[in-house]
Amino acid sequence: MASTIIDSRIFGDMFSDARMRDVWSDENRTAKYLDIERALAKVQGALGIIPKEAAAEIVKNCELSRIDWAKLKAKTEQIGYPIIAVVNQINANCRDGLGEFCHWGATTQDITDTATVLQIRESLALVEQDLDEIGDALAALARKYRDTPVIGRSNLQQATPITFGYKMASILAGIDRHRERLQQLRPRVLMGEFGGASGTLSSLEKGAMETQAALMQELGLAQPLISWHTVRDTIAEVGAFLGLVGGSLGKIAMDVKLMMQTEVAEVFEPFAPGRGSSSTMPQKRNPISCLYIHANVSVARQHAAALMDAMVADHERSTGPWEIEWVVLPEIFCLMSGALKQAKFVLKGLEVDAARMRRNIDITNGLVMSEAVMMGLGPYIGREYAHDLVYDLCRQAIAEDRPLIDILAAHPEIAKHVSRAQLEVFCDPGRNLGQAGVMVDRVLAARG
């Protein structure tokens, strides 16, 4: 019976993605052990390090269908690691004792680490697909709402107008940086391990480096310059990368949650009958996907920190830090897969109320245009004096509950320099959006 959120029959597909759970399943992990043992036998047979007949027999018996799961579980609990248990079964299934050449010169951590890297490779491919889809959805929103005014917010207060396209493009730029980071980290992270007991390959009298090179080529992984049994920066880098991605997804969720508030009501998660409803308040439309994103990325950040703790390993083979990765990697990838899936759902179907965005700009009776007014008056009366004057007139507009433009137009010193028509230009949100459109275009153009 499942006992975690990730494996729950009820919550599993809300907090994670089935494809990612498959990558980190016992079946796929064990299949990777077999892939590595198969590849090792194949290259060592070709190099003449083990008999070709033994290599062929081992290759034939590295099949997941031949694994006895009950024996694997029992042996793993007895020893503490599953690799010997897998090798024992391969050996037992081989004829004439030829299986004794299985795992030749390798150590448990070689197979475990390399299997983990193969799982990471599959996982990162899924993450990349999701980032591409999220980027495409953000690009579509940025393009569609390039010139749609929405209020910018600073310290949760209305600031100056921007465009919703600009808001989406700024997040898109971060997602595209994550896609770039992913390409940069792959050559460092997708590196196998074959070093033997202390990493020096002292277990092989001949062909040690040739075996290592051929094995990595067979698996499609980089050959390490030196053993990394207890130098775990590449694994921690994966965690840091996922933590960064999670931060961006959390930013999306935070903004959507805030913009879905009843008093704001500028965007909404995609509608589905009953989704987000309350057991006691039928009118509610809760930001369900955003809630799951927030929870998942918060836990993922702690897991990223745990992977950095795992870097503090003792000597050439560690006593505990390594096992932190066994716990954390499946969970951080699964939780991030859930957050990515929820983000895709939100962005692909995001409901945008452009009219409400404009009404929200107008609720301050023009006060949000004070910066534009100040800068417009600056050439006539000086910027600092304009700042102080506009500040006082904003306070007056609030106290009298009148439109700012009426207060401005009635002020004799302002009227000496600019007309009401000029003031209307200063106070028009649609004409004071700065370089928002240019910046949106730059982000979209950078995607190619």
Return the active site residues.
Answer: 278, 317
Residue 408's CB is within 10 A of a number of other CB atoms, namely: 28
CB environment 356-379: b (16+ within 10 A), e (fewer): ebbebbeebbbbbbbebbbebbee
CA dist 168 and 425 (Å) reads 26
Q: Which of 431, 353, 347 is nearest to 160 (CA)?
A: 431
Alpha carbon of residue 206 to chain centroid: 44
Place of tokens 């600031």: 159
**Rounded-to-10 torsion of CA 359, 365, 367, 372:** 80
Distant-in-sequence, close-in-space partners of 248: CB < 8 Å, separation ≥ 6: 171, 174, 175, 178
Three-state DSSP class for residue 159: strand
Radius of gyration, alpha carbons of the chain: 30
CA dist 354 and 348 (Å) reads 17
Residue 336 near residue 248, CB atoms below 8 Å: no
Q: What are 405's two structure tokens?
A: 């433009």
Question: Phi then psi for 409, rounded to 5 degrees?
Answer: -65, -25
Which run of H or of E encompasses 235? Answer: helix 233-259
CA dist 245 and 295 (Å) reads 14
Residue 162, beta-bridge partner list: 150
DSSP strands (E only) in 125-236: 149-154, 157-163
Place of tokens 């001949």: 206
